[in-house]
Amino acid sequence: MKNILVITASIFGKDGQSSQLVNMTLEQLKETHGEIHTTWRDLAAEPVPHLDATRFGAFLTAQDDRDNSQQQVVDYSDALIQEIQNADIVVLGVPMYNFGIPSALKAYFDHIARAGVTFRYTENGPVGLLEDRPVYILAARGGIYAGTPNDSQTPYIRSFLGFIGLKDLHFVYAEGLNMGDEQKQNALDEAGRNIETLTA
């Protein structure tokens, strides 16, 4: 049985196009792997707090020197990281808002980037500490951005996940979803075919 961590960030919840792409991916993974166990992290319904000086300070404080509130911050971050460590596969739904990733996803990333836990610095640069595993990134966009300078999501996600050790990345795009019904349906159909191919 495969353990799958599902991360969604659509402000429209399960009705969001990126969330629907996530569901399509899970159905295909079931066909490929049989029984699966999913852990859901809905960042819109249960937002991760945005990083501030207090929370960042908790990460930097030595374990023996932390007060109770600092330990709670670290425990919360540890739990998010543990979800990834327990997963055989990560499925990430990413809508595009104003040319970037949702702020809730950025907050999540800020809580799983921990020096000495998910990455470390060496004389040759940073090294990711998470064991690599497949990550499926389902990107839903109102316009068409992939392969253009306006696609800030793809390089950022690739850089960030690689920074913590996750490099087996599979991007699926559904673009032009606000450019008419025909374009929307064609984009979703193509995304479905790509999901089927990537998860086979």
Structure tokens at 193: 């075919």
The rounded distance, in Å, linking the Cα atoms of 31 and 26 is: 9
Pick the CATH number of 2-199 from 3.40.50.360, 3.40.50.720, 3.40.50.2000, 3.30.530.20: 3.40.50.360
**Per-residue pLDDT, 200:** 81
Q: What was the pLDDT predicted at 90?
A: 98
How far apart (Å, rounded) are the C-alpha atoms in residues 175 and 186? 9
96 labelled as ligand-binding?
A: yes
User: By the 8 A CB rule, do 59 and 77 touch?
Assistant: yes
pTM score over 0.85 = yes
Contact 143, 180 (CB under 8 A): no
Instruction: Write the CB contacts of 9 (distance below 8 Å, at least 6 apart in sequence).
Output: 18, 43, 44, 93, 94, 95, 101, 102, 104, 105, 108
CA distance 94 to 16: 10
200/196 Cα distance (integer angstroms): 6
Annotated binding-site residue? 98: yes
Average pLDDT over residues 161-166: 98
Rounded to an integer, the average pLDDT of 40-53 is 97
Confirm or deny that 97 is annotated as ligand binding. Answer: yes
